[in-house]
Every structure is written in C-alpha cells, then in structure tokens.
A = this chain, B = another copy of it.
Amino acid sequence: MRLTEKRIAAALRQHGYKLTPQRRVVIGAITASRGQLTPAELYRKVHQEHPNIGLTTIYRTLEILGSLELVCELHAGGSGRSYTIGTPEHHHHIICSGCGEVVDFSGYDISPLEERLTRETGFEIEGHLLEFTGRCQRCRQNA
C-alpha cells in the first residue's frame, strides 16, 4: 500500500512538523508520481504551478520525509539521488530502466541469508539494500 497525502500530513503533525502550503504541494507531487524523482525533477514539477517554491524547500522537505520513512531513497538507478513514495511496511523496489516507474514488493524474507552471513563472516548484520532494475510491461510492449 502506498502512503496517501493525508497519512503523510498526519505523520508530519505527529512528529511536530508544521504543515505548510509548500509542503502540501511537494507531498502532492510525490504521491502523484508513480516513479522515481530526483530533487531537481520534483522541483521542476512543483515550480511550474508554484514558481515561488524554491529548490531549498524541496531538499529540506525530502530530508524530513526521508527521516520519517515517508519516502524511500533509491540507489539502483542512475548516479544521483532519487526518491519514491513510501509504504507503511518494509518492502523493496523494482525500477524500470525505461520510464523510471517504481513498483514495490514485499513478503520476501531475507533473514535466512542474514543468518548465513553472520555465521560465515562474523558480521552482525544491521541493514540491507535490495533493489531490482528491469523493464516494465508497458516499456516491453512499446519496444
């Protein structure tokens, strides 16, 4: 399940952040997108309708949303940083190399591998990064 604007707004309030019009717009743009967004792309989208919203606000909003896990940072894509909307559960992402669409999946239990690694390497595992890249159905059909 993807997070809605309402839920995100509630989470912000709950953590003592103010719900400003700028943040509303940024959150709206993120939830409206079905793909990954770089800060610059998000700025472009937002700036069209709201030319007074600055890039700094985009960065600061993304930082807050990231710290509350309302958005997820993606790594598998290109070089720069990019984000996608979060979900309430732990999950992973598949990113389309054609159009940038991001699809979540969950229900994959990585802990057996973690246990094996702890046994074999002596590491105490703290976290993991698991993402796939591929071609979504639409991009495959258009090819």
Chain A residues near B (Cβ < 8 Å): 75-76, 94, 96-97, 103, 105, 108, 113-114, 117-118, 120-137, 140
Which of B118, B129, B140 interacts with A129 by CB under 8 Å?
B129
- With a cutoff of 8 Å between Cβ atoms, the chain B residues found around residue A127 in the complex are 76, 132-134
Q: How far is the CB of A96 from chain B (nearest CB, A)?
A: 7
| Structural contact, B94 and A117, CB atoms closer than 8 A | yes
Number of copies: 2
Which one of A75, A124, A132, A140 has the highest number of Cβ atoms from chain B below 10 Å of its Cβ?
A: A132
B108:A123 contact, CB within 8 angstroms: no
A105 CB contact (under 8 Å) in B94, B117, B130: B117
Compute how far the CA of A118 lies from the CA of B137 in the bound complex, rounded to whole angstroms: 10
Contact B117 A128 (CB under 8 A): no
Cβ-defined contact, B94 with A121, below 8 A: yes
Give the chain B neighbours of A134 by CB distance below 8 A.
117-118, 123-127
Q: Give the residues in chain B near A132, CB-CB below 8 Å.
A: 114, 117, 123, 125-129
